[in-house]
Amino acid sequence: MTSMTFVCKIGDVPLNGVKQVALASFDEEFAVYNLGGEFFVTDDMCTHGMVSLAGGDVEDGQIICPLHGGAFDIRTGAATELPCRTKLRTYPVEVRDEDIFAALG
């Protein structure tokens, strides 16, 4: 059974937006997305340039990197716009009441 880690409250993530989350037990940040009330979690660091994706824009189910304008599919992590080529790591998510959990380990 995969261990689920509390990430944040659903109210912390803006509708059709993204929030950066830093957890004490991990050495990296995560990006939490709210796409019309459906939640997703990915690594926060762009695979192309060392920049936080949480600073980018969410458009049509994609996160647009604020550095060079590359993009990733939030649901799958697939790189969808150059210069990004390497897939973004995604994590299984579970919502319990008002809490978002992800399988980060």
Q: What's the total number of domains in the chain?
A: 1
> What are 49-97's pLDDT values in tens digits?
889 999 999 999 999 999 999 999 999 999 999 998 999 999 999 999 9
Which of 3-7, 14-18, 45-49 has the least mean pLDDT? Answer: 45-49
- Looking at residue 26, the DSSP 8-state letter turns out to be S
CA 56 to chain centre: 11
Average pLDDT over residues 1-21: 93
Q: pLDDT-based confidence at 27, cuts 50/70/90?
A: confident
Q: What is the CATH number of the domain that holds 38?
A: 2.102.10.10
Percent of the chain predicted with pLDDT > 90 = 89
Instruction: Identify the helix (H) or strand (E) that includes residue 17.
Output: strand 17-22
Q: Is the pLDDT of residue 1 over 70?
A: no
Domain of residue 13, residue span: 5-102
Q: How big is the CA angle at 48 (ends 42 and 49), to the nearest 5 degrees? A: 95
Global pTM value = 0.94
Q: Report d(CA 55, CA 59) in Å as an integer.
A: 13
What burial letters (b/e) apply to 12-25, b meaning 16+ CB within 10 Å? Answer: ebeeeebbebeeee
pLDDT at 32: 98
Q: Report d(CA 76, CA 97) in Å as an integer.
A: 24
Q: Report d(CA 76, CA 85) in Å as an integer.
A: 14
In the chain, the N- to C-terminal Cα span, in Å, equals 11
Q: Is the pLDDT of residue 105 over 80?
A: no
